[in-house]
Amino acid sequence: QVQLQESGPGLVKPSETLSLTCTVSGDSISSYYWTWMRQPAGKGLEWIGRISARGNTDYSPSLKSRVTMSIDTSKNQFSLELNSVTAADTAMYFCARENWYFDFWGRGTLVTVSS
């Protein structure tokens, strides 16, 4: 069974960089695309972007200027960096495996942007 686990700081100051890592078990990260999404409290899901094992990326146009994703196949991990954060970036962040749709998800990690 594929499992994903997000990790990273739960509190980030405004204007700083949000950094999260997703660790994958039960599957090689060398296959598929790996995705980040987020969900503000009480709102819908927003796709942030995806990365392949080769490091090919696609980002949401609305976040593209602030997002960087990376992957470490030796550790079976992929990461998200979102810079210049504001309170609007406060959300539950999820990582997931993309198989066109999203078939396996992490449990999510809450990131709050506040001074």
Partner 1 sequence: EIVMTQSPATLSVSPGERVTLSCRASQGVRSNLAWYQQRPGQAPRLLIYGASTRATGIPARFSGSGSGTEFTLTINSLQSEDFAVYHCQQYSNWPRTFGQGTKVEIK
Contacts to partner 1 by CB under 8 A: 43-47, 58, 60-62, 94, 100-103, 105-108
Least distance from C-beta 70 to partner 1, angstroms? 19
Cβ–Cβ contacts within 10 Å for residue 96, how many?
Answer: 23
Name the residue nearer to partner 1 (CB basis): 8 or 108.
108
Taking the C-alpha atoms of residue 53 and residue 113, their distance in angstroms, rounded to an integer, is: 30
- 95 with 105: CB under 8 angstroms? yes
Least distance from C-beta 107 to partner 1, angstroms? 5
Least distance from C-beta 13 to partner 1, angstroms? 26
